[in-house]
Amino acid sequence: MQVKKTQASLGRLSDMDIRLLQVFKSVVECGGMSAAELELNIGTSTVSRHVKDLETRLGLRLCRRGRAGFALTPEGEQIYQETLRLLAGVDAFRSRVDEIHQRMGGELHLAVFDKTASNPAAQIGQAIALFKDMAPAVSLHLHVAPLNAIERGVLDGQFQAGVIPGHRSSGALSYQVLFSETMYLYCGSTHALYGSSPDQEPASWEALRKHAFAGLGYHSPNMELTQTVGLIRQATGYDQESIATLILSGQFLGFLPDHYAQSFVRERRMRALRPAVFQYSCDFFSIVRTSPERSRVTNLLQACLLQAHQA
Domains of the chain: 1-102 (1.10.10.10), 104-311 (3.40.190.290)
% of the chain exceeding 70 in pLDDT: 94
Q: Over 70: is that where the pLDDT of 174 sits?
A: yes
> Higher model confidence: residue 99 or residue 235?
235
Q: Do residues 149 and 179 make contact, with C-beta atoms less than 8 angstroms apart?
A: no
Question: Strands (DSSP E) along the chain, which ranges?
Answer: 63-64, 71-72, 107-112, 139-144, 161-165, 173-188, 213-216, 233-237, 254-257, 270-272, 279-289
Q: Over 80: is that where the pLDDT of 10 sits?
A: no
pTM (2 decimals)? 0.69
Specify the pLDDT at position 181.
Answer: 96
pLDDT in tens, 183-222: 999 999 999 999 988 888 899 999 999 999 999 988 889 9
Query: pLDDT band at residue 100, thresholds of 50, 70 and 90?
Result: low
Specify the pLDDT at position 36.
Answer: 83
Rg (CA), the chain: 23
Specify the pLDDT at position 6.
Answer: 47
Specify the pLDDT at position 101.
Answer: 58
User: What does the pLDDT average to over 232-239?
Assistant: 93
pLDDT in tens, 43-80: 888 888 999 999 888 889 998 877 777 889 999 999 99
Q: Do residues 289 and 172 make contact, with C-beta atoms less than 8 angstroms apart?
A: yes
Specify the pLDDT at position 96.
Answer: 72
Three-point CA angle 58, 62, 68, nearest 5°? 160
Q: Over 80: is that where the pLDDT of 104 sits?
A: no
| Average pLDDT along the chain | 89
Query: pLDDT band at residue 151, thresholds of 50, 70 and 90?
Result: very high
Task: Determine whether 90 is exposed, middle or buried from the number of CB atoms within 10 Å of its CB (0-12, 13-18, 19+).
Answer: middle
The dihedral sign for the CA sequence 145, 149, 152, 157: negative
Q: Over 80: is that where the pLDDT of 159 sits?
A: yes
